[in-house]
Amino acid sequence: MTIEPQQFASDNYAGACPEALEAMLAANAGSAVAYGDDGWTQRASDSFRTLFETDAEVFFVFNGTAANSLALASLCQSYHSVICSSAAHVETDECGAPEFFSNGSKLLLAPSADGKLTPEAIRTLASSRSDIHFPKPRVVTITQPTETGQVYSITEVRAISAVCRELGLKLHMDGARFAHACAALGCTPAAITWEAGVDVLCFGGTKNGLMIGEAVIFFDRALAEDFDYRCKQAGQLASKMRFLSAPWIWLIDSGAWLRNAEHGNACAERLAARVADLPAVQLLFPVQANSVFLVAPEAVLDELRALGWRFYTFIGGGARFMFAWDADPARVDQLAADIRAACEVPALA
């Protein structure tokens, strides 16, 4: 296998950070009880409780689609509905898994340009119908940061949770990049979750530097009833659970969870700053977390592709660049230089 130059098409292109690998090796040092009844899993759950400063119930699953889908299913009956943004990962990128695992709970979409939900949009959707023919609104899910890299402030989350409480809705947070939001806000994990009214958080590990795995954190322990059975039935109960859980101990206790995210965010800012003066290139969204979405003439994008760069254009409508814990600043600068060069090809100059 040849090692290819680093790409920024997805934060999932990154490998696992040293802390995660160290934990894997430590957890591999001997045998341990299976199916999560081991000391590593206990310690990882305690690390989350310390980090979040509350006695939450914690579960470990393989990926984000399962985390979101099972968390939403646990908040819903099949005749309920889930309010989300039209750009939400649960709607656009989970292949109907939330509906599947909830046995049919319907997603109600709020149109949104930047991926954010607003209290007004929630109120409109939740009160559009109250008759028996329409699936009863039961949950709101927000993505922090959104799929377009927009970070909800504490005030915004509080305003959303206030509407949820008023209308009898539970609040779920898809935190596939939760650490990046904490890094951007400079607040405690508690402040932007349970203290702001979030009931359940899916905390992404994969995009934060783990090899694999996400945590589902129930701040309201009553909502976690039988969640272990739900995980098992969905094929999400790891028999050697310690390999999913132990990396979190190192990630959290060492502070790498936050450092990794700060680094990704800083690299996004770095790229944005280095292309800011190019008239042919615009930011599609403000850079608030670890992504940069660029709008540029198709010829510029083609030239970038010809220079070997990979990027997606099906999310948000622009060319997306994502920066993970391992983003090499020199490679970010190379990308910026290549964008600059692509803008100067004769046809465009």
Task: Kindly list the distances between the CA atom of residue 138 and the CA atoms of 167, 171, 197, in Å, as whole numbers in the listed order.
Answer: 9, 9, 15
Q: Please report how close the Cβ of residue 297 comes to ligand PLP at its closest, in angstroms.
A: 27
Residues of span 173-192 touching ligand PLP by CB under 6 A: 174, 176
When the beta carbons of 41 and 63 are compared against ligand PLP, the nearer one is: 63
Helix (H) or strand (E) holding 73, with range, is: helix 64-75
The verdict on 65 binding ligand PLP (CB under 6 A) reads: yes
DSSP 195: G
Q: Are 290 and 180 in contact (CB under 8 A)?
A: yes
The verdict on 270 binding ligand PLP (CB under 6 A) reads: no
Calpha distance 203→57 (Å, rounded): 13
Q: Please report how close the Cβ of residue 60 comes to ligand PLP at its closest, in angstroms.
A: 13
Q: Please report how close the Cβ of residue 59 comes to ligand PLP at its closest, in angstroms.
A: 15
When the beta carbons of 197 and 204 are compared against ligand PLP, the nearer one is: 204
- Binding segment for ligand PLP (CB under 6 A), chosen from 60-68, 76-84, 151-159, 240-248, is 60-68
Instruction: State the number of binding residues for ligand PLP (CB under 6 A).
Output: 11
Q: Please report how close the Cβ of residue 177 comes to ligand PLP at its closest, in angstroms.
A: 6
Q: Which residues pair with 70 in a beta bridge?
A: none
3-class SS of residue 268: helix
When the beta carbons of 68 and 193 are compared against ligand PLP, the nearer one is: 68
Buried b / exposed e across 11-27, counting CB within 10 Å, b at 16+? beebebbebbbebbeeb
Of 271, 276, 251, 249, which is closest to residue 328 (Cα–Cα)? 271
When the beta carbons of 170 and 207 are compared against ligand PLP, the nearer one is: 207
In the set 41, 63, 245, 265, which binds ligand PLP (CB under 6 A)? 63
In the set 147, 156, 199, 262, which binds ligand PLP (CB under 6 A)? 147
- Binding segment for ligand PLP (CB under 6 A), chosen from 57-65, 121-129, 228-236, 292-300, is 57-65
Taking the C-alpha atoms of 297, 328, 88 and 282 in order, what is their torsion angle to the nearest 10 degrees? -30
The verdict on 64 binding ligand PLP (CB under 6 A) reads: yes
The verdict on 149 binding ligand PLP (CB under 6 A) reads: no
Task: Dig out the tokens for 120 from the structure.
Answer: 């007004």
Of 145, 137, 200, 209, which is closest to residue 166 (Cα–Cα)? 137
The verdict on 265 binding ligand PLP (CB under 6 A) reads: no
Residues of span 192-221 touching ligand PLP by CB under 6 A: 206-207
- The alpha-helical segments, DSSP class H, found in 102-177 are 119-126, 154-167
The verdict on 69 binding ligand PLP (CB under 6 A) reads: no
- Binding segment for ligand PLP (CB under 6 A), chosen from 62-70, 127-135, 181-189, 268-276, is 62-70
Calpha distance 285→159 (Å, rounded): 22
Residues contributing to the site for ligand PLP (CB under 6 A): 63-65, 68, 89, 143, 147, 174, 176, 206-207
